[in-house]
Each structure stands twice: as C-alpha cells, then as structure tokens.
Structure 1
Amino acid sequence: MSTTTAVDPTARARDLLGVSRLTNQALTTWLHGLPGVDQVGCEARAAGLGTRSIKTSSKAWAIDLAISMIDLTTLEGADTPGKVRGLAARAVTPDPSDLTTPRPAAVCVYGDMVEIAKEALGDTGVKVAAVATAFPSGRASRAVKLADTTDAVQAGADEIDMVIDRGAFLAGDYLRVFREIAETKEACGDARLKVIMETGELVTYDNVRRASWLSMLAGGDFIKTSTGKISPAATLPVTLVMLEAVRDWQGLTGEMVGVKPAGGIRTSKDAIKFLVTVSEVAGEEWLDNTWFRFGASSLLNDLILQRQKMATGAYSGADYVADDAPSGY
C-alpha cells in the first residue's frame, strides 16, 4: 500500500468540490458544510473509550505497539549533536536489558540536526523526522518555509512535520493554508508529510474537523495535533475528531491518512486509551506505525517500565530507565 499521496492536490480538490477553479469561497463553502461536532457527545464518547479495560495479554501487545509508534523527540533551542546522538542511540536500543524491545518509529529533530540523526541511526530502520516551516510558530514567508523543508529533505529527512498558518486558518483564508500545505508536500519529494494543526489554538472541535479535512485535501500524509509547545496539546476528544476525519476521508477517496497526537501523552495508561480509540473510531487498519504515531519522549520511559514489570513482576527503579525527555513532551 502506498504511503504517499501521488496526486495533484489542486486538481483533486477541484474534483471533490465540483468546481472549475479552486477559490477561497469554494473551500469555505465546502469546509463549513461539513457536519458539526457534537461537543458533549464527542467528549462523552472519548471518556467512555478512556475507561475501557483490556486483558493482560492484550496489554503486553499494546505496550509493544505503542513503543513502535513513538516519534522520539527533542525540539529544544539547547539541542546539541551529542544530545541528538544520545536520542538516536536510545531509539536503536530502547531497553539494553531486553533487546526484544521494539524500536520507536522515528527520531524527530530540528532540520539542522537531521544529518547527525541520520548518521547515528544508520540502517536500523528508525526514520528521521524533521520539523519545518518555521516550527513552532509558522510565522515566516512561504519562501522561507519551503526552503526550510527542502533543506531538511536534502539532509536526509524521511518525514517532515510542518505547521500550518493558524492565523490564516482562523481568519478564514483557507486557500492560503491549502496552498502552503500543497507546496510543502511537493517540496517533500518522497518524504512523508505530517501537518501540525496546533489544535489548542483552533479552540473548537468544528475547527479541528475543518483543519483536518483541509490538511488531507491539500495532500498531507498525516494530520498531527500539536507542536507540544502550547497547552492543551493532544487530548483524546480532539484525536477522536481527527480519527473520524481520516476514516471518512478513506470512505470518500479510498486513501489512508495517518494521525499523530503529540504533547502531553506520558503514561502507558494514556497511550492505551489512544490505541483503543484508534481501533474503535478509525479501525484496526490504523493500528500500525505507518498510520499512527505518538509525538513523545517521556512516554517511552513509562512504557519500558511497564514492559519490565510485566516480564519480571516488579517495577524497576526509575534510575534504570533513561530520562532524556525534553520539556513539553
């Protein structure tokens, strides 16, 4: 199954919207024609899914799956080559006491650290993801954003995590957001594109739904909640809305799009709540790190502690697990 969108987003958008020319008015009419989100119903369903219990055997499987879905992340101004190499080493060997522990899906860094991460990871199969487009604010010219993306791809990034222009979105300039995503996708080449919507700034679930559909329409391979730099970040109700969007997008177009909640997911218990929600809302097809990721670092620590407890019957001390998670994740 292809994991990239090999179509012209503008041509597809014209077809789906039934227009000869893509305009902001056409996008506005289409996006505001989407069904509204029942806030009370959404939050009640998320709360119900969050209380589901799973069997011990399923828990062991879920913990390994969650580890394999992590984008192990460091996005600090104080990042150094040594810190990135250390994070890469952690991704390659998450638990030196148990070499059967799955590896995270990717290491996520700023663009100037891509070459260092790429060299450190080698042929281990762990991807390198780079944030781009003036992360986290998104406040830069389009030329700068596209250059940011191109530089990261040329340095070897397998995946690009871009941020949308939230100001343009909230002002109703959907065409500007669409074009920026579509042009960034083109600049990605073979790299997969994750579109960060910064849902904490979008305020309403209706806006989250509209931003999700706009991001997919413009060619995003993933929709992502947050930069991890503001609060609230990844919440279960917001992720539920996004999962409904990718499910319905597949029903409309036949294409799968991934989902990545990021920021604030720190415990195994929380991760399992998200996995249950993925299964119940989008479907089992998304229970794979090709289509679902966690943007996190501290989450890995707790997953490994829980994994060790299931293997030995006792918790290891926190001192036995690396604590290299940056703030915000």
Structure 2
Amino acid sequence: MSTETLNSAADLRAFLHGLPGVDQVGAEERAARLASRSIKTTAKAAAIDLAISMVDLTTLEGADTAGKVRALCAKAARPDPSDASVPKVAAVCVYSDMVEVAVTSLAGTGIGVASVATAFPSGRAPLEAKLADTRAAVAAGAAEIDMVIDRGAFLAGDYGKVFEEIVAVKDACGSAHLKVILETGELATLDHVRRASWLAMRAGADFIKTSTGKISPAATLPVTLVMLEAVRDYRTATGRQVGVKPAGGIRTTKDAIKYLVLVNETAGPDWLTPDWFRLGASSVLNDLLMQRRKLATGVYSGPDYFTLD
C-alpha cells in the first residue's frame, strides 16, 4: 500500500485528534498484568530462541570502529560460537558510515543491515541533509533505515511537517524498509504516542519504533502496548501490516519475554516474527544466551562466557 493522500494538514490534525484517547491507568495496568504471566520451561526455550531471532544487534557510539562492527557482525551470525543451533539475529544496526563494513561482514548470512539516519538521535537537521544521509546509507547497502521524527514539530502541532518528512524519507529509502522512531520518552503522554504512531503509519512507515535509546525513558511496556494496539487497528482499517520495534532499556530475558507476551496478547501471533517485531538492543542478547545455556545444561555460564558488545 502506498503512502496515504491527505487533502490538507487540517485533515491530518482532525484525524489524529479524533483518535480515541488512551486510558493511561488502564494501559499501565494491562501491561503490568500481561508482564506478570509465568512461562513454563518448554515455552520459555522457544521464547528465548524467538527473542534472539528478533534482536537488532546495535552499536551506535561515537567511538565505533570498523573492528567493533565486524566483531558485532560475527556475533550476529553466530551468537554462541560453541552452539550452531542458536538462531542468528534479525539485523545489525549501525551508523551510516559503518554500513559498508557491516554489509561486507554479513555477506551470505541473510542478516540485514539497518542504519540510523536523518540526524539521529536529535533529528535536528535540514530535510536535505536527512535525505542525503538516508540515500548514502541505502547506497552503501542498508536494507533498513531507522529515522527519527522531528519531535519539536510534532509537539508544536505541526503534524504536516512531520508527515511530509516521513514521506520524503520513505521515498529516499527506495526498496529499503523504513522504521520511524517516535522517541516516546519525549512525547510525554500515551495520547501523543498513539497519534505519532498513526501519523507515521499513514505516512508510509514499515515499522514504528519507540526510541533512539539515547534518552530515558526509552522503551516501556505501556508505550509498546499503545503502539501494538495502533498497528493492530491500522491493519484492520487499511489491510496493511506495520511492524513494531521497542528499543532501549531491554536488558534481560525476562524483559524480552514480557514483550513477546505483550505482542501475542495485543496485536496477535501474526506479529510474532522478526518480519513484524524487533527488539532494539545489544546487552539483552548476552542474557538470552546465558538463560538458553542454563535451560539446556542446568548450569548458569555467567556473563564472562559470552563476548561483550
């Protein structure tokens, strides 16, 4: 489905402000209730493997080097060098200048390279610079682009500007998938999260993503619940399915499994695949590997057993 056509910014505002309000207390209670569910051993083993396959293994630091990116790619393809049964991750996410290194390192693995773009993490740059950043990443081989919305424009009510920027970046992506980062920690309310989710989807997002991971709070269960409700309702309304990616603050196997339960119970099992749900993280992979080995051997290996990210 192509980007939706809107007659005017006024139409977009009317639509977004016509969305049902979010019951914040209810959303928090539902997320907490789902997070409290216990997972039995057999189901836990399957959930761990599913979570590993959904990880976007990420390094987004100013001190990133080609060597660090190559090491991360090796881990993405073979998370546990001693156990070939461990699934590979969904993608490796890097800055645009490291895309070529990652693409070369991952050749033949089937693992995609995602690149943050559009003046990540602030989004404070002219549109021309954001589009150039996007095109450079795609030209280097990125299969996915993670863009940030202009939160200042969104919070000022300039929805039209945000919409048109997403449309333009989507066009610059060509065949690459577009993940739109809402930076929900700066949106303040769940009503804003719902509106931003629908705005991004109507502008052509393939995924909606919670956070850059650079501010706190990053991903939370109530925020992700609202986003999952949005993609579910959007598919019902339009027939187009959009993915969800919580990112930042997901560090343990317990955290990851809570998100999988949330997906299953809110959007439904159609989203329980790396094609439609991702976990933006790096440290969580080590904990998933440790818990996986403990289930298989009964022995807790400890963090030193696996490479640090």
- Which of 248, 254, 257 does residue 272 from structure 1 map onto? 257
Deviation at 1:48, TM superposition (A): 0.1
Q: Which residue of 1 aligns with 2:305?
A: 320
Q: Which residue of 2 aligns with 1:101?
A: 86
- Which of 7, 16, 21 does residue 36 from structure 1 map onto? 21
Task: Tell me the secondary structure at the aligned position of residue 147 of structure 2.
Answer: strand
Counterpart residue identity of residue 129, structure 2:
V
Counterpart residue identity of residue 141, structure 1:
P
1-side partners of 2:125 and 2:303: how far apart? 41
Deviation at 1:13, TM superposition (A): 3.4
1:52 aligns with 2:37: yes
Q: Which residue of 1 aligns with 2:49?
A: 64
Q: Which residue of 1 aligns with 2:102?
A: 117
1-side partners of 2:43 and 2:150: how far apart? 40
- Which of 119, 122, 146 does residue 161 from structure 1 map onto? 146
- Which of 10, 13, 16 does residue 5 from structure 2 map onto? 13
Deviation at 1:24, TM superposition (A): 1.8
2-side partners of 1:244 and 1:318: how far apart? 35
> Any stretches of 5+ residues in structure 2 without a counterpart?
none
- Which of 205, 208, 213 does residue 223 from structure 1 map onto? 208
Counterpart residue identity of residue 172, structure 1:
G
Q: Which residue of 1 aligns with 2:269?
A: 284
Counterpart residue identity of residue 39, structure 1:
Q
1-side partners of 2:119 and 2:302: how far apart? 39
Q: Which residue of 2 aligns with 1:3?
A: none
Deviation at 1:278, TM superposition (A): 0.1
1:78 aligns with 2:102: no
2-side partners of 1:285 and 1:30: how far apart? 27
- Which of 236, 241, 255 does residue 256 from structure 1 map onto? 241
Counterpart residue identity of residue 99, structure 2:
V
Q: Which residue of 2 aligns with 1:306?
A: 291
- Which of 147, 164, 173 does residue 132 from structure 2 map onto? 147
> Any stretches of 5+ residues in structure 1 without a counterpart?
1-5, 15-20, 325-329
Counterpart residue identity of residue 58, structure 2:
T
Task: Tell me the secondary structure at the aligned position of residue 89 of structure 1.
Answer: helix
2-side partners of 1:76 and 1:269: how far apart? 26
Deviation at 1:55, TM superposition (A): 1.6
1-side partners of 2:77 and 2:214: how far apart? 26
Counterpart residue identity of residue 318, structure 1:
P
1:103-132, Cα deviation, whole Å (9 max, x unpaired): 010000000000000000001011100000
Counterpart residue identity of residue 166, structure 1:
R
1-side partners of 2:157 and 2:9: how far apart? 8
1:274-299, Cα deviation, whole Å (9 max, x unpaired): 00000000000000000000000000
Counterpart residue identity of residue 196, structure 1:
I
Counterpart residue identity of residue 185, structure 1:
K
1:146-195, Cα deviation, whole Å (9 max, x unpaired): 00000000000000000000000000000000000011001001100000
Counterpart residue identity of residue 148, structure 1:
D
1:246 aligns with 2:250: no
Task: Tell me the secondary structure at the aligned position of residue 13 of structure 1.
Answer: coil
1:296 aligns with 2:281: yes
Q: Which residue of 2 aligns with 1:327?
A: none
Task: Tell me the secondary structure at the aligned position of residue 295 of structure 1.
Answer: strand
2-side partners of 1:68 and 1:127: how far apart? 12
1:299-324, Cα deviation, whole Å (9 max, x unpaired): 00000000000110010022111111
1-side partners of 2:295 and 2:64: how far apart? 34
1-side partners of 2:77 and 2:246: how far apart? 22
Counterpart residue identity of residue 298, structure 1:
S
Q: Which residue of 1 aligns with 2:185?
A: 200
1-side partners of 2:5 and 2:237: how far apart? 12
Q: Which residue of 2 aligns with 1:209?
A: 194
Counterpart residue identity of residue 78, structure 2:
T
Q: Which residue of 1 aligns with 2:112?
A: 127
Counterpart residue identity of residue 186, structure 1:
D
Q: TM-score, normalised by structure 2?
A: 0.99
Task: Tell me the secondary structure at the aligned position of residue 133 of structure 2.
Answer: helix
Identity in percent: 69
Q: TM-score, normalised by structure 1?
A: 0.93
What is the aligned-residue RMSD (CA, Å)?
Answer: 0.6
Q: Which residue of 2 aligns with 1:233?
A: 218
